[in-house]
Structure 1
Amino acid sequence: MDEIDRQIVALMRENARRSFQDIGGRVALSAPAVKRRVDRLEADGVLRGYAAIVDHAAMGWPTHAFVALYCEGRMSAAEVRAAVAGHAEVAAAYTVAGEASAILHVFARDTGHLEEALERIRDTPGIRRTQTQVVLSALFERPVA
């Protein structure tokens, strides 16, 4: 990956719907040259897909929290994933080093909905407890560029 590839990725992270011509104009390449690079970045696994970025608050789920998940024994990453993936409120889950087994990013309509989601998560076999940090405000969110 060279500097032009990095610039292309950064531009696509800002707006994945940019045309190859627009990107090319910003990195001094033709649209076909940009397409070839994007195809290679996809084949190399750098670009894994394209998605709409949803504003959870605008969708009616403005409350969010980071939840440390503590599991019984040695739950594998696949078991932790299976335990939390079915909960619509869980936007992301990460295994971590340290006391917790995983960290979850959870969205909800309000604190009551958050509490109900946490109770459902804790009712899952193998989940021992959770520790929740409710987000008061997002100072900034930065995509990796």
Structure 2
Amino acid sequence: MTRQASEGVVHTMAIDDLDRSILEALREDGRASYADMGTRIGLSASAVKRRVDRMRDTGVIRGFSVLIDPEIDGRGTEAYVELFCRGNVAPVELTKIMSALPDVVEAWTVTGAADAVVRIRARDTASLEVALEKVRLAPQVDSTRSAIVLSRLIERR
């Protein structure tokens, strides 16, 4: 498996079924102890730690985070916005533009008619409208098409 680490260095690492089991355990409970994960998959706590450290060092595991309920966090209004750009815009340029907008929480280049899709989280529809206007004002953006999320049906991490 080839991964792009945060430092820009490309690492190649093959993961096995035990690594996959550790990753699944971390997906289910990122706070599980190495001992609990080891008991679950048949390894010692130290063996699990070594494997987690190796997967972190090689970029397979890119980080750990906390998932916060967006309603409680005050960012319960969510939209997916397709960006249609003028001419050819390099992904690095779109990254620079979208990174400057705090309400943009994720962004991807995509195939199809749109050049990119961004995910926006805002306090309410008025705040969402302000965030959308900032996206639309980017000089490379010709037009947008938005879809506001009404309800979350499935969320997997």
Structure 2 length normalisation: TM-score? 0.87
Q: Deviations over 1:106-126 (max 9, x none)?
A: 111111111111111111111
Q: What does residue 109 of structure 2 align with?
A: 95
Tell me the secondary structure at the aligned position of residue 32 of structure 1: helix
Q: What does residue 118 of structure 2 align with?
A: 104
Q: What does residue 19 of structure 1 align with?
A: 33
Report the Cα offset of residue 73 of structure 1.
0.6
Q: What does residue 56 of structure 1 align with?
A: 70
Report the Cα offset of residue 16 of structure 1.
2.0
* Bigger RCO (CA 8 Å, 6+ sep): 1
Q: Deviations over 1:65-119 (max 9, x none)?
A: 1100111110100111111111111110000011111001111111111111111
Q: What does residue 40 of structure 1 align with?
A: 54
Q: What does residue 96 of structure 2 align with?
A: 82
Structure 2: distance between partners of 1:35 and 1:142: 24
Point out where structure 2 has 5 or more consecutive residues left out of the alignment: 1-14
Alignment of 1:137 with 2:151, yes or no, is: yes
Structure 2: distance between partners of 1:112 and 1:97: 30
Question: What is the Cα-based RMSD across aligned positions, in Å?
Answer: 1.1
Tell me the secondary structure at the aligned position of residue 152 of structure 2: coil
Tell me the secondary structure at the aligned position of residue 72 of structure 2: coil
Aligned length: 143
Structure 2: distance between partners of 1:117 and 1:42: 34
